[in-house]
Structure 1
């Protein structure tokens, strides 16, 4: 936090003129402070000295004001000195960082299965895949047998209704299509149930 001004030549010139003036009626303490400031190369004017100077200039009716003295100056911000870090604290922070990094790594790799990374796979994976393929083959075979048997039954049963072969074939195709659509509907509903959908 700023507690002083860094002032330039305007301050130096006017304060020198003020000190040389014998009837300036500055207090002895203020004169000594100002003389010490003028001896330095870089003038750093504290706020308390600036207040004393302002009060003196106001009370005595001098022809210049404090803002004129500080015209080419700026706030002096002291350099912040960081205290050295406690080595025990640094070591503890490093341990906490390492622990958090390990927890993050464990969270990221929580669902990684090392057996799936293995290129050959395991026998359990192979068995699961064979069962899956077997279920699909059985389902397709069942679907085809159902349609073929529906066609055959309709064709054979329609001989009592129709005498022409074309009419028997058309009725058998229609019956097989209806049975096939019904089978597809049941198959889709079953697969939805296996996937957990309503």
Structure 2
């Protein structure tokens, strides 16, 4: 906390003029002002000087005296930290860091990190690929069979080949769309299960 001013040259000049021209200065204030040859003046002395200037009606104001001065703020000395406290804080920080690391990595499976994978993972992948291949093959066989049946069955209705092909394409498209609808619904059901 500030307790004094660091004074500048302007203060020295004005105080010197006051000391020479003023006879009503008390002896203790005069001694304090003469002792201010160093670079700081306490607030107590400044209050006495301010009171003297007010009583005698001097044209010099206090802010004019301290125009080039600054507050003297002593350096704050921080007490040394207790080594036991520092060690305890370090332990707590390490514990919190470990808990945070465990929380972040709790869902990491070390077997998934393995590049080769396990046999169980390989078996699951083969089964899923096999299911996809069977589904695609089933879709193609169904659409081709629907086309063939429609083409052969439409010979009793249409005599021209173009009409038979168009009828077969329409029937195969309807069967293919129906098959896709069932496939999507089945996949939705599989994906929706927990």
The answer, yes or no, to whether TM exceeds 0.5 is yes
- The 1:67/1:167 distance shift into structure 2, 3 A limit, reads closer
| Secondary structure at the counterpart of residue 24 of structure 2 | coil
The Cα shift of 1:168 comes to 3.2
> Number of matched residues?
193
Aligned pairs for 1:1-198 (under 5 A) are 1-21=1-21, 23-38=22-37, 40=38, 42=39, 44-196=40-192
The one-character-per-residue Cα deviations of 1:24-67 (angstroms, maximum 9, x if unpaired) are 222233223222222x2x2x122222111100111123352322
C-alpha separation between the residues in 2 aligned to 1:47 and 1:5?
A: 7
Runs of 5+ consecutive residues of structure 2 not aligned to the other structure:
none
| Secondary structure at the counterpart of residue 194 of structure 1 | helix
- The 1:184/1:59 distance shift into structure 2, 3 A limit, reads same
Contact kept? 1:18, 1:24, Cα under 8 Å: no
The Cα shift of 1:164 comes to 4.4
Query: Normalising by structure 1, what TM-score?
Result: 0.85
C-alpha separation between the residues in 1 aligned to 2:46 and 2:189?
A: 86
C-alpha separation between the residues in 2 aligned to 1:144 and 1:27?
A: 117
C-alpha separation between the residues in 2 aligned to 1:144 and 1:64?
A: 108
C-alpha separation between the residues in 2 aligned to 1:166 and 1:72?
A: 108
> What is the Cα-based RMSD across aligned positions, in Å?
2.2
- Deviating more after overlay: 49-58 vs 73-82: 73-82
The Cα shift of 1:160 comes to 3.1
The Cα shift of 1:94 comes to 0.9
The one-character-per-residue Cα deviations of 1:62-86 (angstroms, maximum 9, x if unpaired) are 3523222212211222212112112
The one-character-per-residue Cα deviations of 1:83-122 (angstroms, maximum 9, x if unpaired) are 2112122112111211222122223323322112111101
The Cα shift of 1:166 comes to 4.3
The Cα shift of 1:185 comes to 2.0
- Deviating more after overlay: 6-15 vs 154-163: 154-163
| Secondary structure at the counterpart of residue 5 of structure 1 | strand
